[in-house]
Amino acid sequence: MIIDKRVVYFLESHFSLITYLFEAFHEINKYFPNAPIELSVLQSFEDIEERLSIEIIVIIPPEEALKMLDKFRNGWYLNHYDSLVNIDVNWR
């Protein structure tokens, strides 16, 4: 397993997100069983703060993946959105 040092530094400075991250992995697994997940740290030109990106590597048709991601976002993610302002979830 390769762990990006930027992810480690991000989580060290946003320690409170670790619990939500484990919950997110559990919830993601409900919609995308056994899908690999990649973590990275992103910073756009507009954003001052860095964001943690959770990318779900899917092997299902894109239309189905988009429906599942919408269900995840409209369920667990939306219910925890206020606590997850520094986390983005996407698929590829």
Per-residue pLDDT of the chain (92 residues), as tens digits, is 467 899 999 999 999 999 999 999 999 999 999 899 999 998 877 767 889 999 999 989 999 999 999 999 999 999 998 888 888 888 88
Task: Say yes or no: domain 5-91 is CATH 1.10.20.
Answer: no
Query: If you count them, how many residues does the chain have?
Result: 92
Domain ranges of the chain: 5-91
In contact, 52 and 88? CB cutoff 8 Å: yes
Nearest Cα to 42, choosing from 2, 81, 10?
10
